[in-house]
Amino acid sequence: MKIFITGGTGFIGSHLIEYFLDQKNTDIYALVRNRKNLKWLESLDIHILEGDLFSIPPLPNDIDFVFHIAGITKANKSAHYYTVNQHGTASLLQALRSQKINLKRLVLLSSQAVCGPSFDGQQIRENSPSAPITHYGKSKLESENEALRFKGHIPLTILRAPTIFGPKDPVLLPYFRFIKKGILPSLGKGKRLISLCYVKDLVKSFDLSIKGSLKSGEIFHVADPVPRSWDELGLAAGKALDVNLRKIKLPLCTLYPVYLIAEFLGKISNNPSILSREKYFEMKQSAWIVNTEAAQEKLGFTPLLSFEDAIQETIDWYKNNDWL
């Protein structure tokens, strides 16, 4: 089996590569923009192909599967989201068609941001009207639309992921550092429910997507079926770290200056911050939860570990690698 992966140097992509390296008779080709950015791939037995989404190098004509993970989650200019997430996807699909590669399937990683928040507290299904509230979410919706234009030519599956956690994830690390100090930040009112997915569960869903027969263009929400509150996440991390937590309630508005300053510093340093006014707008919503019944029924998706064990495995990795 031969697979081609975009975004392989990142958090999710590197886990996907490690997973498929454990499969027998698998050749992996990874698209890499900069060879200096091979932190997670340096010692792995894979084929590095230099290029980007707008300059796809020649691929072996017997590639079986493509996993399109590359994209951006932060940007200093809103237009950049559409350049990379929307037009980059279109460029990749056009290159695959131009190279006349007879793929068995392409799996596109999308985002829960496409759906928008759960205003009524109900879990959002795949066929619910898309209502993204940020440029990131809108750009990922356009990425899906670009891919769906090719569903008659290339067998296609779209996986929408919520907040992903696990070893190597830098995004939730600051939150876990608060937990290590014995502080449980509790923001706003109510439970503030979110869907979560352990990175190894997401990776498994990619494998499930290329097995069996799926209709081209099907979309699946991949997440732990049980929504969690931010407090539940913090308490699970506190247990994994064996610390006693003191809950500190903070009005959401206290975060706005922090996000605003982070966005400003990201712009003047030309290094966009994950904290921005868009992210603050997302944080203000009371629920981001999705229904996963379709993934369970058609993919056979179930979490590999319990929520608590997945958090423990994540915390252990952070500690063993001196991140916590």
Q: Are 113 and 163 in contact (CB under 8 A)?
A: no
Q: CA 8, CA 5: separation in Å to the nearest integer?
A: 6
pTM of the model: 0.94
Q: CA 93, CA 77: separation in Å to the nearest integer?
A: 25
Question: Which of 204, 295, 211 lies closest to 20 in space, CA to CA?
Answer: 204
The Cα-based distances of 302 to 16, 20, 23 in angstroms read 17, 19, 20
Q: Which residues, listed in sequence order, are joined to residue 111 by a DSSP beta bridge?
A: 161
Q: How many CB atoms lie within 10 A of CB 40?
A: 17
At residue 189, the pLDDT reads: 75
Handedness of CA 125, 131, 137, 138 (dihedral sign): positive
What domains are there in the chain, each with its CATH number?
A: 2-171+196-227+290-305 (3.40.50.720)
Question: Which of 144, 61, 147, 70 lies closest to 98 in space, CA to CA?
Answer: 61
At residue 197, the pLDDT reads: 98
- Counting as low any pLDDT under 50, the low residues of the chain are none
At residue 297, the pLDDT reads: 96
